[in-house]
Amino acid sequence: MSHHLQFFIDGAWVDPVTPARIDVIDPSTEEVYTQISAGSRADVDRAVAAAKAAFASFSLVPKEERLALLKRILEVYNARYEDIARAVSQEMGAPISFARNAQAWAGQAHMEATIRAMEEFEFSHRRGSSMIVKEPIGVCALITPWNWPLNQIVCKVAPAIAAGCTVVLKPSEIAPISGIVWAEIMEEAGTPKGVFNLVNGTGPDVGQVMAGHPDVDMVSFTGSTRAGIIVAKTAADTVKRVAQELGGKSANIILPDADFENAVIQGVQGCFGNTGQSCDAPTRMLVPADRHDEALAIAKTAAEAMKVGDPRSEETELGPVVSEMQYNKIQGLIEKGIKEGATLVTGGLGRPEGLNRGYYVRPTVFGHVKPGMTIEREEIFGPVLSVISYENEEEAIRIANDTVYGLAAYIQSKDIEHARRVALRMRAGTVNLNYPDWDTMAPFGGYKQSGNGREYADWGIHDFLEIKGIVGYGD
């Protein structure tokens, strides 16, 4: 039975209080392929009440039992792995190989990291005659995006449960089906009633209601900076904790002593991964001024080698972007880049040749991008790379940090000590040296308007905990 039109509340699949539907569109065809129910305040109230009731007992469940629950969830996740990959591929257009090897893998990897971190996590310790206790914060509203659906769901749900919290999840209404599969996984794993709840719907009708709900103790939000500000303002009236992972405009500094050709190629691939729809993508490539044209030639070849097409094909590297709205936004920013005088190296306006439907964007490289240009400042969230010159290292660092964002930065150098020194000067939550493998044990989160709080492993668990000092505890 399909649960697309139901919510998961208090351990059961239920119909919405007031029937209303949202179309879910396959971005590769532009056609509606299913519908979900649109939640309302009444549905949020029901889910929050279930989570609040469950918190009284679940917050007291021993660590070992919560750890056993996480392990059961991982076991069921692994059994549903292909279902997850196919759901993500259709709902957001991720190429099926990427959906398996990155999207579904990310959820699996973060489950494993949370379990590993929890096995070693200490929820209390002595300090002199006091006992310091880390306790679950309470009922948590989790609002997740469409671009890395399982990555963000697991990065919120798993540490919240590890901490002993109960949750209400609102996945993106643009890519909600993988969230429904996740809810089925939670049910099959035997999650206690009310510990995990799911309500689908829009940001204004469900997300904001959750953020402002008086019985919600914390909001964890991932999405745009614009939406994050609304969530924070809404949550402020009830003085609840807000953790946010927001936008980015990450710089990729290729230092003069880097393996230049490889650094440029990997930089293009990193920018275009997930069809450019990653908040930490290296979208601003900084290269020595005397090698700018060389970088453009390499980037052009690398971009044009990437296969754009049907996400169902195993050979496809870039699928469509997620929606018509995103497609139009990206087209507008490409047009602005051309008008503002950046050099269009490859790509540009319109769909790639041979694709006459679907939200496909031509892999685009701009050269001679100047600091202050729109495409250098704004998050594009598509396969668009800006190449920027610098005269010396100090200028490169200044340009890299001259942004309202601070989610990630990238440094390329054959001299690891040199790369480490530059990394210390980056105003970003994650600095990647020489394109390392994804580390699910490292903290992830941003400086400045890229958010606050940290996710992954024990860093995520900390976000869902309150600190209590029991003074005079004794020897």
List of domains in the chain = 7-246+450-470 (3.40.605.10), 251-440 (3.40.309.10)
CA distance 236 to 240: 7
- 165 assigned to active site: no
In 3D space, the residue among 158, 130, 131 whose CA is nearest the CA of residue 144 turns out to be 158
pLDDT for res 418: 98
String of b and e for 357-392 (b: at least 16 CB within 10 Å)? ebbbbbbbbbbbbeeebbbbeebbbbbbbbbbbbee
Q: pLDDT, tens digit, for every residue of 377-412? A: 999 999 999 999 999 999 999 999 999 999 999 999
Nearest 5 degrees, angle CA 438-CA 269-CA 284? 90
- 279 assigned to active site: yes
Which of these is catalytic: 279, 317, 376, 455?
Answer: 279
pLDDT for res 475: 77
Which of these is catalytic: 112, 245, 376, 455?
Answer: 245
pLDDT for res 474: 87
Cβ partners under 8 Å of residue 175, min gap 6? 24, 88, 91, 92, 146, 149, 322
Query: Span 330-349, mean pLDDT?
Result: 98
pLDDT for res 68: 98
CA distance 397 to 418: 13
Mean of pLDDT over the chain: 98
Q: pLDDT, tens digit, for every residue of 100-153? A: 999 999 999 999 999 999 999 999 999 999 999 999 999 999 999 999 999 999
Amino acid present at 247? G
Could you give the percent of the chain with pLDDT greater than 70? 100
CA distance 395 to 141: 42
CA distance 96 to 328: 24
Q: Give the chain as a 3 state SS string.
A: CCCCCCEEECCEEECCCCCCEEEEEECCCCEEEEEEECCCHHHHHHHHHHHHHHHHHHCCCCHHHHHHHHHHHHHHHHHCHHHHHHHHHHHHCCCHHHHHHHHHHHHHHHHHHHHHHHHHCCCEEEECCEEEEEEECCEEEEECCCCCHHHHHHHHHHHHHHHCCEEEEECCCCCCHHHHHHHHHHHHCCCCCCCEEECCCCHHHHHHHHHHCCCCCEEEEECCHHHHHHHHHHHHCCCCEEEEECCCCCEEEECCCCCHHHHHHHHHHHHHHHHHCCCCCCCEEEEEHHHHHHHHHHHHHHHHCCCECCCCCCCCCECCCCCHHHHHHHHHHHHHHHHCCCEEEECCCCCCCCCCCCCCCCCEEEECCCCCCHHHHCCCCCCEEEEEEECCHHHHHHHHHCCCCCCEEEEECCCHHHHHHHHCCCCCCEEEECCCCCCCCCCECCCHHHEECCECHHHHHHHCEEEEEECCCCC
Instruction: Check residues 3 and 474 and name the one with the higher pLDDT.
Output: 3
Is the model's pTM score more than 0.95? yes
pLDDT range class, residue 339, cuts 50, 70, 90: very high
Query: Span 203-223, mean pLDDT?
Result: 98
pLDDT range class, residue 1, cuts 50, 70, 90: low
Q: pLDDT, tens digit, for every residue of 72-106? A: 999 999 999 999 999 999 999 999 999 999 999 99
Q: pLDDT, tens digit, for every residue of 248-298? A: 999 999 999 999 999 999 999 999 999 999 999 999 999 999 999 999 999
